[in-house]
């Protein structure tokens, strides 16, 4: 739901296939926040261009610009949105449930996704050969998913941590999408995660955030 809004200056620099950008798109949609979508083509190296580096010296997406505030890193951006735009909360009140959400989000963002990111896969491709990239990614994902199934089994309702959509769902959805669609993980290996994946696909805020639905998507 990218569009300019009168009096509101939210701009998201994003790449359609970036799972980290995908997280932020979901969060913005869930909070009903309008934003301008600015594509950054990672495959063309646009994140390394001078004009982008001036905005974000770290040279990665997503970047959220809120008036004069420039934010990077999906976890930091989403926590900022939660603080500044508290309607449609992305975290439950209960401190225990909050901790589970932080854990699930952090497992995805620090234990799974970094270990199958583009630069590591490219490194493995160079060192051993392109055929080894997929097995490596699958092994990383399987180990993480096995743990997530155990972590979530006592907490899931309709969604990851109960019957409302929260932070865990925002981090899980892009990871599940990547795992099942791009890395050929079979859904029957992970029943809880597979069910969540199907559920997310029915929610408009998640559908609209899908990679293939972005302005810069290549089909």
Contact residues: another protein, CB under 8 A: 57-59, 69, 71-73, 75-77, 79-80, 83-84, 95-96, 98-99, 102-103, 105-107, 109-111, 113-115, 120, 123-124, 127-128, 132, 136, 143-144, 146-147, 150-151
To the nearest whole angstrom, how small is the minimum distance from the Cβ of residue 180 to another protein?
21
To the nearest whole angstrom, how small is the minimum distance from the Cβ of residue 100 to another protein?
8
Cβ closest to another protein, residue 37 vs residue 75: 75
To the nearest whole angstrom, how small is the minimum distance from the Cβ of residue 96 to another protein?
5
Cβ closest to another protein, residue 2 vs residue 152: 152
Cβ closest to another protein, residue 136 vs residue 180: 136
To the nearest whole angstrom, how small is the minimum distance from the Cβ of residue 68 to another protein?
9
To the nearest whole angstrom, how small is the minimum distance from the Cβ of residue 213 to another protein?
25
Pairing relationship of beta strands 36-39 and 10-14 according to DSSP bridges: parallel
Cβ closest to another protein, residue 29 vs residue 56: 56
Cβ closest to another protein, residue 41 vs residue 103: 103
CA 116 to chain centre: 14
To the nearest whole angstrom, how small is the minimum distance from the Cβ of residue 153 to another protein?
10
Cβ closest to another protein, residue 69 vs residue 218: 69
Please say whether the dihedral angle defined by the alpha carbons of residues 33, 37, 62 and 156, taken in this order, is positive or negative.
Answer: positive
């Amino acid at each position: 739901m990218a569009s300019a809004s009168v009096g509101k200056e939210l701009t998201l620099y994003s790449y359609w296939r970036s799972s980290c950008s995908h997280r932020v798109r979901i969060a913005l949609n869930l909070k009903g926040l309008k934003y301008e979508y600015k594509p950054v083509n990672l495959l063309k190296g646009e994140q390394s261009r001078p004009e982008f580096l001036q905005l974000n010296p770290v040279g990665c997406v997503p970047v959220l610009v809120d008036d004069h505030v420039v934010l990077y890193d999906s976890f930091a951006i989403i926590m900022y949105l939660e603080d500044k735009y508290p309607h449609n909360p992305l975290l439950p009140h209960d401190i225990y449930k909050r901790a589970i959400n932080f854990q699930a989000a952090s497992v995805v963002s620090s234990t799974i996704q970094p270990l199958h990111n583009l630069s590591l896969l490219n490194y493995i491709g160079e060192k051993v050969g392109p055929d080894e990239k997929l097995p490596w990614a699958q092994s990383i994902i399987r180990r993480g998913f096995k743990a997530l199934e155990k972590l979530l089994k006592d907490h899931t309702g309709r969604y990851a941590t109960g019957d409302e959509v929260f932070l865990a769902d925002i981090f899980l959805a892009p990871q599940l999408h990547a795992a099942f669609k791009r890395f050929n993980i079979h859904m029957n290996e992970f029943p809880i995660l597979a069910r969540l994946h199907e559920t997310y696909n029915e929610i408009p805020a998640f559908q609209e955030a899908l990679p293939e639905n972005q302005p810069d998507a290549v089909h």
